A = this chain, B = another copy of it.
Amino acid sequence: MVDLQKHISESFSAQGLMTTLGAELTLVASGEVHIVLFPRPALSQQHGYIHAGALTSVLDSACGYAALTVAPTGMDVLTVEFKINFIRPAIADRFVAVGKVKKAGRTLTVCQGEVLGEQGSHRETIAVMQATIINIPGNTQQFIQPDAPTRAG
């Protein structure tokens, strides 16, 4: 697990978008990863509140890394798809994206995630996600899709 935390921490640091968003990796446990994001003008939508896309980006990353914590050794992960519902206004001092593995498989892993908004001692769910992640051989480095077309789609 120590090696895995180090691996995920390094991978996270290598994500230019996470740096651009100012996101912080705060928890890596087996089947669960947390990423924190703070609201600021550079992440806003047109009314000054945090953009749904910024929250979605960190929650997608949290779910992907959660899947990676339970992937077979040497495998990397790719997001196949996700669905997200925005259930409360994104107004908080701090947002915590929590990705959790619901079911890990040899090929696919299903995660459920939430963005929690924290304001003082108050904490509530801002968004909920359901995501499907695929394991791919780590040495392909994500640039050869495992899933090259066999017939025209």
Contacts and interface: CB of A to CB of B under 8 A. Distances in A.
Interface of A: 11-12, 14-20, 30-31, 40-47, 49, 51-54, 56-58, 60-61, 70, 72, 78-89, 91, 101-110, 112, 125, 128, 130, 132, 134, 141-153
A150 B72 contact: yes
A79 B85 CA distance: 8
B42 A11 contact: no
Given A31-B153, A91-B143, A83 B130 contact: yes
A149 B91 contact: no
Q: Determine chain A's interface SS by DSSP, over half rule.
A: mixed
A86 B136 CA distance: 15
A105 B145 contact: yes
Contacts of A80: 80, 85-86, 108, 132
Contacts of A150: 70, 72, 104-106
Given A49-B142, A80-B132, A44 B17 contact: yes
A149 B105 contact: yes
Nearest to A11: B46
A153 B43 contact: no
A89 B145 contact: yes
A82 B18 CA distance: 22
Contacts of A16: 40-45, 51
